[in-house]
Copies of this chain bind each other. A is one copy, B any other.
Amino acid sequence: MTAAPTDRLKLAVLINASGSHIAGWRHPRSGAEQTDELSHYLQIAKKAEAGKFDIVFFADSSALFDGTPEHQARYSHGLAATEPKRHLEPFTLLAALSAGTSNIGLVGSATTTYAEPYSVARVVASLDRLSGGRGGWNLITSANPAEASNFNRTHHLDHATRYERAEEFVDVVRGLWDTLGDGAYVRNREQGVYSDLTQISALNFQGKHFQVSGPLNILRPPQGHPLIAQAGSSEPGRRLAARTADMVFTAQRDIQAAKEFRADIRARTRAAGRNPDHVLVVPGLVPYVGETHQDAHDFYHELLSLIVPDAGLALLAELVGEIDLRSYPLDGPVPEFGETQGSVSRLRLIEQLTHTTRPTIRILYESIAGASGHGFIIGSPVEIADYIEEWYRQGAVDGFNILPPVSPFAFDRFVDLVVPELQRRGLVQSAYRPGSLRDKLGLPRPKNSLLS
């Protein structure tokens, strides 16, 4: 089931906050003071464009901190030591970035759990239009229980309901994008005809969660449908991705598991009647780049030394559920934990780490502090390029979503030192192709499902 690699490796970069490492903000070369300003993100986006990256990507959550209110109260010291991962709202920020960039894709997360599909369809279409066809939507379900009480809910929706809702949500959004044909606005001054009403259709979606009439109040996006990314690794998450995603973000630390994951997504995509080459599997990767092997390991250990233990515990507790980890010794074994309603992939990784390497609590949080369960690599530019090349050649990935542990510092190093090595090997592009984000990625423009 391992597929031949696609024509080239794709590169995205996650640009939230000043680093994916939990202590990254403390590093002297992080941009921690600038994360509420456009300039910080514009610097990263321009650097990404200089490195011919495909996408800048923005994660999201509709709450300041993660976890239940009880979790937040219990781990308040840890939260005070942790940089919030959300500073500016993704789509206003990406719209502003569109004005300062010209080739890179701009993908933002929006939740299907607490947002309205009409609003999401409109905002993402607007971003696609403003950027000349470079917009994308990372479709998420809200794993953060804190969001519920910000949106008139007494309880967080459970995992199964969230995915049921997400399935309908994406159908409404894609449907709304098709309610105006590309030729809906004829603007015939002479005859006084602005719209061709045969190119404007209602949607009249009637589902269990949504009843939405349409049409959308914006012209069909330049890409037809802006890029749809998705990141669920659970059974319903994979089903949704196979049916609807152009790109799948995922946390993978093991090449064999990554190969199996990609093969599974491709098989499901084929079974859903789609071309598996039209779903790009892009695991996260946290690169600790040094001029040399030793330099990189020094950087990694410098960051470990900056972790405030309470922050590590807060991170860990949020992933494993409502055990009070503070009552266990930091350098003792990790206790058993049960079911959670959080991210399945993160929980599995922690279970796996716990059962294979039998870490202490401190070592466990250190091992996920870089990017809560994503793969990471510590090394010289050649070592990192070797790692990336192996994953790509073996069909484990279509690309990587780079999570710089410290921004802008570690990302600058990746672009300056690793990208040229990848380009020399012909693995990544050295120049942008013309056209929209879909054109650049080799993905087709979706046909209109409502209008011909």
- Asked if A114 is at the interface (CB within 8 A of a chain B CB), the reply is yes
Q: How far is the CB of A16 from chain B (nearest CB, A)?
A: 11
- Asked if B36 and A219 sit within 8 Å, CB to CB, the answer is yes
Distance between Cα atoms of A213 and B187 in the complex (Å): 47
Bitwise, A133-157 to B at CB < 8 A (1) or not (0) is: 0000000000000100111101000
| A119 CA / B89 CA spacing, docked (Å) | 9
- The answer to whether A308 and B92 have CB atoms under 8 Å apart is no
Residues in B whose Cβ lies below 8 Å from that of A32:
187, 189, 194
Contacts A89-B126, A92-B130; is A194 near B82 (CB within 8 Å)?
yes
Q: How far is the CB of A406 from chain B (nearest CB, A)?
A: 12
- A62, B118: Cβ atoms under 8 Å? yes
A197 lies within 8 A of B76 (CB): yes
Instruction: Choose, from A93-101, A262-270, A278-286, the stretch at the interface.
Output: A93-101
A120 to B251, CA, bound (A): 32
- Min CB distance A283 to B, Å, is 26
Tell me the bound Cα distance from A123 to B62 in angstroms.
Answer: 11
Question: Is the beta-carbon distance between A92 and B149 smaller than 8 angstroms?
Answer: no
**Are the CB atoms of A88 and B218 closer together than 8 Å?**
yes
Q: Is the CB of B114 within 8 A of A116?
A: yes
Q: How large is the interface on A (under 10, 10 to 19, 20 to 34, 35 or more residues)?
A: 35 or more
Q: Which residue of B lies closest to A84 (CB)?
A: B217
Q: Does A37 contact B (CB under 8 A)?
A: yes
A80→B193 contact, CB < 8 A = yes
Most chain B beta-carbon contacts within 10 A, residue among A88, A193, A200, A210: A88
Give the residue name and chain of the B residue nearest to A188 (CB): B26
**Chain B residues with CB under 8 A of A152:** 116, 210-212
13 pairs, A vs B, C-beta closer than 8 Å = A26-B192, A32-B187, A38-B99, A62-B217, A63-B217, A82-B194, A83-B194, A88-B126, A88-B129, A96-B96, A96-B130, A150-B213, A152-B212
Known: A88-B129, A150-B213. 13 other contacts (CB 8 A): A26-B189, A26-B192, A36-B219, A62-B119, A64-B214, A64-B216, A82-B194, A84-B217, A91-B92, A146-B213, A150-B214, A154-B211, A192-B311
